[in-house]
DNA sequence: TTGTATGCGTTATCAG
DNA sequence: CTGATAACGCATACAA
């Protein structure tokens, strides 16, 4: 598809002479080719842009051949200035160190690259002010569209500003009601699934570590938790609901706080896997055997949890699919289509960290 | 430092009128400002480029004020075309889903952004052919420099091509001898430290899961392993050396293969933490208690391993520092300084997964 | 099918 | 200190 990509093989078995050519290749542009072939720049531009398959004329073939030989690499910066399309998308994604986030970004990048787009990634601190600075930064690089993976709830000021931008903006992972088109996983249903499973095992006192208050993911999973308890006719004890961050440390702290209650829970639902790992650690510290004395359930199904000494029961979020779909939707919006939202289905993965209460 | 960043606050409490202005701000460029103020474009360019602190003349102040009011965002694409410097760096980093890699990229991005540079990230499959395609792709976007975090050993063809590029190229994490400047951690010393510690505990049969053969990290850590055994006068049993990938799955497989030996090891050194987690899982499956019946030591000290039910003894690699220094060195090279290499010191972190053999 | 001319937004050079 | 002009590399409307 892209000229320069196809050319890359050319250099594999090159002769000393071609080496010299290559050394000069920094400055190979349309004009160089035009001069070499003896045609006008615009002709070269047209031929190269049409691609090898549609090389009808004699000149076209010569142009392609010379471009190949000189190792021409199109200058997307110049093209971008002219067409005001840089073939790049900006991604604002705090907390890249979180596996869940890095898997998402991995997928976003792979899908973009496959579509001929370059990802410009910014991973600022997780507050909307910093995120908006990243947006401004990416905008100055004239990205064609934006994906934000870490929106905050109730920050309509920033969302309003995002909506005013001259390029399509898409939310992934976390959403903002209907204010921005989004591709997310069905967090509410996932929270319900996890809680319902624990209830079916016989648990009635179920603690939840609900993550950061500003994340729609944790918020929606908590809604699902309430849904399941309500459906089962179990009264909700607000003391069993605790908020922390999404790190293992938060899981440790949250678990200790829950397990120190007068009537401690027999099961804990952590709304992300890292926190669940922290819960496992806290249980160990308190001499509680998992799952016999405490059931633990996580969320997201990051790869490591299947390989823990006690493999974790968790809710599987299709993270790669979420990234892929986010890019697909964004590219459609860039091409002028009306952006649409999507909610991806999740599923429960039962492993060894859950059992009936004793 | 950057104009547009400072301006972002302007819109926080804007009036309806300014809203209208903002809606048109897509097309705000130097010419717009020049026309509004009544000066020439080049004047505007100079003033804006000089910054607010050096606003001497009356005109300069007016220009700045208008730029502010109109919400001017400099077009780095256009500037890049003119100056042939896009204020961006390309990063080729396969395996972004690996926490170790994502922490490194997180740090690279943060340092770049802090320095006014944008990171263009590509995370292709981990083979040099794909990586070189990514390089070509980034080159077409005219990045000012490149960082590669996943070089392969003995692929001098590709390294030669990298050396011929018209921009500075730096290796991070993995190196290629002295062929490319690099910022890495002291993997050989880390491997030695880990092995020496096990030897001092009394272990003599120490298995090693050495990762992929093409990674200098695993290779160097294996060298350190040999160093320590040699120094202790322990003969090296090649049967105790196994190669897998860097995933938990590989650790499981490697551990089972080692523990099935006629004379199984009493300790296993996995050259990365995820593999070590896999070893813990395999031990569990075989009913081996860690650390009493099997000592396990990992590598890198990714955050999760401190919170495992059996906190992992491991070698701490300064990953964030590595990313930071890589960017600093690369930016120096971009400014024309001679690129230098660096080897960062590592340290042993003793936790609960290691003990004397029974 | 090919050539001509123009402009994308910015910066740099030079003259005033 | 400011203004005029050209150029970066490419794409396109238009004319031939």
CA distance B139 to B332: 19
pLDDT top residue among A24 and B47: B47
State the pLDDT at residue B193: 98
* Closest C1' nucleotide to B79's CA: C10
pTM: 0.93
pLDDT at res. B19: 32
Whether the pLDDT of residue A259 is over 50: the answer is yes
Query: Which chain B residue lies closest to A104 (C-alpha atoms)?
Result: B97
Average pLDDT, chain A: 92
Q: Are B348 and B312 in contact (CB under 8 A)?
A: no
Residue environment code for B276-312, b if the CB has 16+ CB neighbours within 10 A, otherwise e? bbbbbbbbbeeebebbeebbbbbbbbbbbbebbbbbb
Residue B267 in this model has a pLDDT that exceeds 90: yes
Tell me, in Å, how far CA of B27 is from C1' of D13?
A: 22
Q: Is A18 a residue whose pLDDT tops 90?
A: no
Model confidence at A96: pLDDT above 90: yes
Determine the distance in angstroms separating the CA of A102 from the nearest CA of chain B, rounded to an integer.
Answer: 5
Distance from CA of B227 to the nearest CA of A (A): 31
pLDDT at residue A248 greater than cutoff 70? yes
Q: Averaged over A235-263, what is the pLDDT? A: 97
Report the residue of chain A nearest B106, measured CA to CA: A96
In degrees rounded to 5, what are phi and psi of residue A92? -105, 110
Name the 3-class secondary structure at A9: helix
Among A332, A296, A303, A300, residue whose Cα is nearest residue A317: A300
DSSP string, B147-209: EES---TT-HHHHHHHHTSSS-EEEESS-BTBSS-EEEE-HHHHHHHHHHHHHHHT---EEEE
Distance B145 CA to C14 C1' (A): 32
> Tokens 């027999």 correspond to what residue?
A266
Put simply, the answer to whether A248 touches B141 (Cβ < 8 Å) is: no
Q: Report whether pLDDT(B75) > 80.
A: yes
C-alpha radius of gyration, chain B, whole number? 26
Stated as kind and residue range, the H or E segment containing A314 is strand A313-316
What is the per-residue pLDDT for B309? 86
- DSSP assignment, residue A199? H
Sheet arrangement for strand B182-185: A342-344, A182-185, A169-172, A145-148, A88-92, A118-122, B118-122, B88-92, B145-148, B169-172, B182-185, B342-344
How far is Cα A67 from Cα A74, in angstroms, rounded to an integer? 10
Mean pLDDT for B210-239 is 98
Distance of C1' in C16 from CA in A61, Å: 51
Give A24→chain B minimum CA distance, Å. 9
Please state the rounded mean pLDDT for residues B64-74: 94
What confidence score (pLDDT) does residue A55 get? Answer: 82
* Nearest CB neighbour to B73, from listed A118, A139, A308: A139
**Quick one: average pLDDT of B139-156?**
96
State the smallest CA–CA distance between residue A231 and chain B in angstroms: 34
- Which of B80, B102, B284 lies at the smallest CB-CB distance from A102? B102
Instruction: Return the closest-CA partner of residue A124 out of A154, A100, A142, A97.
Output: A97
Instruction: State the pLDDT at residue B24.
Output: 44
Which residues from the 43-102 window of protein chain A have CB within 7 angstroms of nucleic acid chain C?
Answer: 43, 46-47, 56-60, 81-82, 84
State residue A213's pLDDT score.
Answer: 95
Measure B358 CA to nearest chain A CA, in Å. 22
pLDDT class of B56 with cuts at 50, 70, 90: confident
Residue B7 reports pLDDT greater than 60: no
State the nucleotide closest to B73 in CA–C1' terms: C9
> Are residues B109 and A119, on separate chains, in Cβ contact within 8 Å?
no
Residue of B nearest to A6 (CA): B133
A79-184+320-344 fold: Rossmann fold (3.40.50)
Tell if the CB–CB gap between B99 and A96 is shorter than 8 Å. no
* Nucleotides of strand D under 7 angstroms from a protein beta carbon: 1-13
Q: Is the pLDDT of residue B8 over 90?
A: no
Rounded to 5 degrees, φ, ψ at A251 are -65, -40
| More reliable by pLDDT, B21 or A209 | A209
Percentage of chain B exceeding pLDDT 70: 93
- Per-residue tokens: B208: 């090693």
DSSP A324: H
Q: What is the rounded CA–CA span in Å between residue B12 and residue A354?
A: 48
Q: Which nucleotides in chain C have some atom under 7 angstroms from a protein Cβ?
A: 1-5, 7-13
- Give dist(CA B270, CA B299) in Å, integer: 7
Nearest-by-CA chain A residue for B102: A97
Q: Where in chain B is the domain with CATH 1.10.260.40?
A: 3-73
Give residue A26's pLDDT band: very low, low, confident or very high (50, 70, 90): low
A3-73 falls under which CATH superfamily?
lambda repressor-like DNA-binding domains (1.10.260.40)
Task: Provide the pLDDT for residue A27.
Answer: 82
The nt closest to A84 (CA vs C1′) is: C8
Nearest to B120, CA basis, from B159, B83, B80, B155: B80
Tell me which of 3.30.70.270, 3.40.50.2300, 3.90.550.10, 3.30.365.10 is the CATH number of domain B187-318: 3.40.50.2300
Residue with tokens 């009356």: B58
Binary contact (A277, B307; C-beta < 8 A) = yes
Residues of chain A with CATH 3.40.50.2300: 79-184+320-344, 187-318
| Rounded (10°) angle between helices A187-201 and A216-231 | 40
pLDDT digits (tens, 9 = 90+) for A111-167: 999 999 999 999 999 999 999 999 999 999 999 999 999 999 989 999 999 999 999
Yes or no, beta carbons of B105 and A122 under 8 Å apart: no
Mean pLDDT of B55-79: 94
In this complex, the residue of A101, A105, A304 whose CB is nearest that of residue B304 is A304
CB contact under 8 A, B75 and A142: yes
């Amino acid at each position: 598809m892209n000229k320069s990509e196809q050319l890359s093989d050319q250099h594999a078995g090159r002769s000393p002479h071609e080496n010299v050519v290559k050394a000069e290749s920094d400055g190979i542009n349309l004009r160089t080719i035009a001069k070499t072939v003896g045609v006008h720049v615009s002709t070269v531009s047209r031929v190269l842009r049409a691609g090898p398959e549609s090389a009808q004329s004699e000149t076209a073939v010569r142009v392609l051949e010379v471009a190949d030989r000189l190792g021409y690499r199109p200058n997307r910066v110049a093209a971008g200035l002219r067409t005001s399309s840089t073939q790049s998308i900006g991604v604002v994604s705090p907390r890249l160190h979180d596996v869940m986030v890095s898997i998402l970004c991995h997928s976003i990048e792979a899908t973009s690259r496959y579509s001929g787009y370059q990802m410009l990634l910014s991973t600022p601190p997780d507050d909307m002010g910093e995120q908006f600075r990243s947006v401004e930064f990416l905008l100055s690089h004239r990205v064609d569209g934006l994906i934000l993976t870490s929106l905050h709830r109730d920050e309509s000021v920033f969302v309003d500003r995002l909506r005013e931008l001259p390029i399509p903006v898409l939310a992934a992972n976390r959403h903002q009601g209907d204010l921005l088109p989004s591709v997310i996983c069905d967090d509410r249903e996932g929270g319900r699934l996890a809680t319902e499973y624990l209830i079916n095992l016989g648990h009635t006192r179920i603690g939840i570590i609900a993550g950061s208050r500003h994340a729609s993911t944790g918020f929606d999973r908590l809604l699902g938790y309430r849904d399941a308890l309500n459906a089962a006719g179990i009264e909700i004890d607000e003391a069993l609901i605790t908020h922390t961050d999404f790190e293992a440390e938060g899981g440790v702290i949250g678990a200790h706080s829950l397990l120190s209650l007068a009537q401690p829970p027999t099961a804990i639902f952590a709304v992300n896997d890292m926190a669940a790992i922290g819960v496992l650690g806290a249980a160990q510290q308190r001499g509680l055997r998992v799952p016999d004395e405490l059931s633990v359930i996580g969320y997201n199904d990051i790869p490591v949890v299947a390989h823990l000494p006690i493999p974790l029961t968790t809710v599987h979020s299709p993270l790669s699919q979420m990234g892929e779909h986010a890019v697909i939707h964004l590219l459609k919006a860039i091409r002028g289509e009306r952006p649409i939202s999507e909610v991806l289905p999740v599923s429960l993965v039962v492993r060894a960290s859950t059992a009936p209460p004793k």
